[in-house]
Chains A and B, each alone.
Chain A
């Protein structure tokens, strides 16, 4: 199509002429200082898209780590399917895209003065602040569990050294060993994540240590994609995975690191490897600033992700309550793209677009067996993000091996795409 005919085509197609050309001219007129805390899926996506959409905005990204190790595919690393290098991403491309990178920790926020104080002591002023700080573990939620104990009973729920620790403990475990995993009640990062991890560990045990088993002590009675996981477990790992729900006393009360034992209301269970996934809340920078109110997570206006507590602070990703959207890297990235356009509009004095966001969570239950849940989210009558009725949903049950294989391939394809768009 030639240039002039393409223009003609777009002019003729009324429905697309205003919307289809995309970036509104006003977005490019946006100016001001946007400061972003956290270079994970939410923050780095926002930074990258802001540079594309609104080149007039100054974009500063505060992140203490020089490399991001993703939680997605960290379960594959734990089970020996992938090396950690494949899920580790540098931040150089963000700098190359015009983002000012500050390698320091955001220690405090002064919402009135619109300043972020860095651990190093300097203040970073902002017109609008974007917080995508992720999660922290709720202190004191499990008796006996703290950072030191996490070196013996890894959580591996923030990817990096913890991922390798859990992998290495599994490798060192003798055949016939027992792996114990504890899973918190809702809400927590990556709802299907514990069950994907259990699946891939089961695959590793079946392959390498077939007399071993894995016991899941769960703080709830049902979980994400449960029928699909259970169908796969029955087919692939019969008798290998034991799931003990809340109703049967699955909720963790305390741990004893010395004996590698966990205790629930009805069970005392020791393991050769104990993976404790603790209860979570919004990361300290958000929690300590008071942005979670009385709860664990940040409340936001879900049409703009602006805090309901402090104006000019937008919170996305795992730390925020985004209606029915699950806490996932995909959700955070989808929110980050939308937020870049919304911030560009707001800084240009324009009306932000309405959110139409997506989450797709692929889980691997074996290296060549994937399952998924996908939804589109819009603002519903309650003013919160709700899944569009009649759309979305999970993979079909009793699908063919071919479908499972395609979904596993798409899980890897999604990972390649999202990570290269953000950090590539």
Chain B
């Protein structure tokens, strides 16, 4: 395992910490992530002023989403949206986007 990979793995695991016994997200990562593309562009490549989400580092993405989920006051709407998802679902989104 490369060190980046180990870091990503650790970060995603951290995200899921506290819900170790919780089952995986019931909704497939592809289905959850499709919602992101409405603003962030098809396949996460944004044609406009909203940042794209394709090809992001999994560690960074997991950390960013965790910050939004905790209610980052600098976010405009992502803090409102991220709170609507479980930690397992956010982990599934991170895993799905990282695998693209």
Contact = CB atoms under 8 A, between A and B. Distances in A.
A415 B85 contact: no
B92 A372 contact: no
Nearest to A41: B38
Contact of A417 (B50, B92, B98): B50
A414 B25 contact: no
Interface in B55-95: 76-77, 80-85, 88-89, 91-92, 94-95
Contacts of B4: 1
Of the listed residues B42, B46, B76, B89, the one surrounded by the most CB atoms of chain A closer than 10 A to its CB is: B76
A50 to B, nearest CB: 12
Q: Is the interface of B mostly helix, strand, loop or mixed?
A: helix
B47 A353 contact: no
A15 interface: yes
Interface in A316-341: 330, 333-334, 337-338, 341
A46 to B, nearest CB: 12
A417 B26 contact: no
A409 interface: yes
Interface string B31-61: 1111101111110001111100000000000
Given A19-B25, A353-B31, A358-B38, A391 B48 contact: no
Of the listed residues B32, B33, B46, B99, the one surrounded by the most CB atoms of chain A closer than 10 A to its CB is: B99
Contacts of A334: 35, 38
A220 interface: no
A391 B81 contact: yes
Of the listed residues A13, A353, A358, A417, the one surrounded by the most CB atoms of chain B closer than 10 A to its CB is: A417
A418 B36 CA distance: 10
Nearest to A370: B76
Contacts of B81: 358, 360, 374, 376, 391-392
Contacts, number: 190
Interface in A345-362: 353-354, 356-358, 360
Of the listed residues A18, A19, A23, A374, the one surrounded by the most CB atoms of chain B closer than 10 A to its CB is: A19
A9 B4 CA distance: 11
A2 B5 CA distance: 10
A10 B73 CA distance: 32
A29 to B, nearest CB: 15
A5 interface: yes
B9 A415 contact: no
Interface string A16-54: 111111111000000000000000000000000100010
Contacts of A354: 26-27
A417 B48 contact: yes
A388 B49 CA distance: 27
A407 B77 CA distance: 9
A6 B27 CA distance: 21
A113 interface: no
A247 B27 CA distance: 45
Contacts of B98: 1, 6, 9
Given A5-B5, A354-B27, A413 B50 contact: yes
A205 B31 CA distance: 44
Contacts of B26: 19, 353-354
Interface string A396-410: 000000010011011
B35 A20 contact: no
Given A19-B25, A341-B31, A6 B99 contact: yes
A281 B66 CA distance: 41
B37 A10 contact: no
Given A356-B89, A360-B39, A421-B41, A388 B84 contact: yes
Interface of B: 1-2, 4-5, 8-9, 12-13, 16, 22, 24-35, 37-42, 46-50, 76-77, 80-85, 88-89, 91-92, 94-96, 98-99
Given A20-B99, A418-B38, 6 more contacts: A16-B91, A18-B24, A21-B99, A333-B38, A372-B77, A417-B39
Interface of A: 1-2, 5-6, 8-10, 12-24, 49, 53, 330, 333-334, 337-338, 341, 353-354, 356-358, 360, 372, 374-376, 378, 388, 390-393, 395, 403, 406-407, 409-410, 412-418, 420-421, 424
10 contacts: A1-B4, A9-B1, A13-B95, A22-B28, A337-B34, A338-B34, A341-B34, A356-B84, A358-B84, A421-B38
Q: Across chains A and B, which 7 residue pairs bring their CB atoms closest together, nearest first?
A: A376-B84, A22-B30, A416-B48, A20-B95, A16-B95, A413-B49, A391-B84
